C-alpha cells in the first residue's frame, strides 16, 4: 500500500555496535514500509562491517545517514544526539535486534499522526528461539513512535522517551530477538550491569550485604513465580535466573566501586 499524499514521512532512529548480522536482516521488512524515508544510525565505533551493512539499506526512497559516536555509557545522550539529526518530525526508534511485525508495518503505512499522542507498542521477546509470554517483559508497552518536538530521552541504561503527551497503546508488536546464544545473553548482562552500577554510584547510592544477597532472590521469585515465568519452561527459568544475575552484579559492582573509592581516600 502506498502512503497517502498528506501522510508525513517517518525517520527511523537506530543505535548500533557491531550489529552487522542483525542489520543484514532488515531489508526484507524495510521494503514493505513506505512511510520511512530515512534512517539515522548512530554507531558506537563498530569494529565489524556494521556501517557498510547499514549503508546497503539505501534505496531511491530511503536515505541513510551514519554518524560515528562513542557511547560513553549514556544511551539517552546517544539517542538524543541521533534525534537531532532526524529531518522528519515523526520518529520511530528501534534497536538492531528488533523488527516490526507485519501488523506494525501496516500501522505505519496507514499512519495518520496526531500531535496529541505518542504511540506505544508491545514487544514480543524471542529468547533462544522461543517466544516468551510471561516473566519480566510480558504485557509491557514501549513508546517508540513520537513527534520529536514533544519530549526527550532519559535514562543512561534502557533509555525511554519522556513526554507530557498522551500515550496511545496499540496491539501491533515489535519482534525482539536479542539473543541467539547464551554467551551473548551473559555478555549483555555483564555490560549493562557495568553501566547501571556506575550510574548508581554517581548518584551516591550505596548498597549492603542484605541487598546483594536478597534483591536477586526477590527478583527471581517475582519473575519466575508471581509473573509466571515458569510457564515458559526451560527458557523461562534461564531468563529469570539471568535477570537475577543482573540484579546481583549491579549491587556487587556498586559495592566494589565504593570499596575502591574508600581505599583511594584512605
Domain count, the chain: 2
- In DSSP terms, 94 is beta-bridged to 14
Please report, rounded to a whole number, the percentage of residues in the chain having pLDDT higher than 70.
97
Instruction: Give the pLDDT score at 1.
Output: 45
**62: β partners:** 59
Question: Is residue 98 domain-shared with residue 28, that is, in the same domain?
Answer: yes
What are the pLDDT digits (tens) for 230-262? Answer: 999 999 999 999 999 999 999 999 999 999 998
Same domain for 65 and 122: yes
Nearest C-alpha neighbor of 143 from the set 120, 164, 122: 120
From 178, 205, 233, the end of a domain falls on 178
* Three cell numbers written together for 53: 551493512
pLDDT exceeds cutoff 70 at 115:
no
Q: Say yes or no: 19 and 137 in one domain.
A: yes
Q: What was the pLDDT predicted at 262?
A: 86
Evaluate whether residue 172 is within a structural domain: yes
Sorted by sequence, the CB contacts under 8 Å of residue 6 that are 6+ apart come out as none
**Same structural domain, 41 and 143:** yes
Same domain? 152 vs 196? no
Listed residues 155, 178, 201: the one ending a domain? 178
SS3 248: helix
> How does pLDDT run across 219-228, given as a tens digit for each residue?
999 999 999 9
Taken as a whole, the chain contains a residue count of 266
Contact 204, 155 (CB under 8 A): no
35 & 165 share domain: yes
Domain range enclosing 201: 181-265
33 and 154 share a domain? yes
Phi, psi for residue 163 in degrees, rounded to 5: -160, 150
More confident residue, 258 or 138: 258
Q: What is the pTM of this model?
A: 0.85
Report the C-alpha gap between 203 and 207 in whole angstroms.
12
Average pLDDT, the chain: 93
Which is more confident, 6 or 3?
6
Beta carbons of 132 and 138 less than 8 angstroms apart: yes
Amino acid at each position: 500500500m502506498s502512503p497517502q499524499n498528506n501522510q508525513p514521512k517517518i525517520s527511523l532512529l537506530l543505535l548500533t555496535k557491531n550489529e552487522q548480522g542483525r542489520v543484514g536482516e532488515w531489508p526484507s521488512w524495510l521494503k514493505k514500509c513506505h512511510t520511512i524515508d530515512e534512517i539515522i544510525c548512530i554507531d558506537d565505533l563498530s569494529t565489524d562491517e556494521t556501517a557498510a551493512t547499514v549503508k546497503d539499506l539505501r534505496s531511491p526512497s530511503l536515505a541513510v545517514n551514519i554518524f560515528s559516536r562513542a557511547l560513553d555509557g549514556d544511551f539517552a545522550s546517544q539517542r538524543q544526539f541521533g534525534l537531532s539529526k532526524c529531518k522528519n518530525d515523526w520518529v520511530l526508534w528501534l534497536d538492531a535486534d528488533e523488527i516490526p511485525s507485519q501488523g506494525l508495518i501496516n500501522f505505519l503505512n496507514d499512519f495518520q499522526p496526531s500531535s496529541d499522542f505518542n504511540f506505544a507498542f508491545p514487544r514480543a521477546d524471542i529468547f533462544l528461539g522461543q517466544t516468551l509470554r510471561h516473566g519480566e517483559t510480558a504485557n509491557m508497552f514501549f513508546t517508540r513512535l513520537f513527534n520529536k518536538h514533544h519530549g526527550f530521552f532519559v535514562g543512561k541504561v534502557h533509555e525511554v522517551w519522556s513526554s507530557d503527551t498522551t500515550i496511545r497503546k496499540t496491539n501491533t508488536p515489535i519482534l525482539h530477538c536479542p539473543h541467539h546464544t547464551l554467551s551473548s545473553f551473559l555478555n549483555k548482562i555483564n555490560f549493562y550491569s557495568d553501566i547501571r552500577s556506575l550510574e548508581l554510584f554517581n548518584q551516591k547510592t550505596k548498597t549492603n550485604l542484605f541487598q546483594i544477597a536478597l534483591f536477586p532472590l526477590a527478583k527471581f521469585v517475582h519473575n519466575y513465580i508471581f509473573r509466571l515465568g515458569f510457564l515458559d519452561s526451560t527458557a523461562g527459568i534461564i531468563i529469570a535466573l539471568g535477570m537475577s544475575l543482573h540484579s546481583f552484579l549491579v549491587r556487587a559492582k556498586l559495592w566494589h566501586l565504593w570499596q575502591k573509592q574508600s581505599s583511594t581516600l584512605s
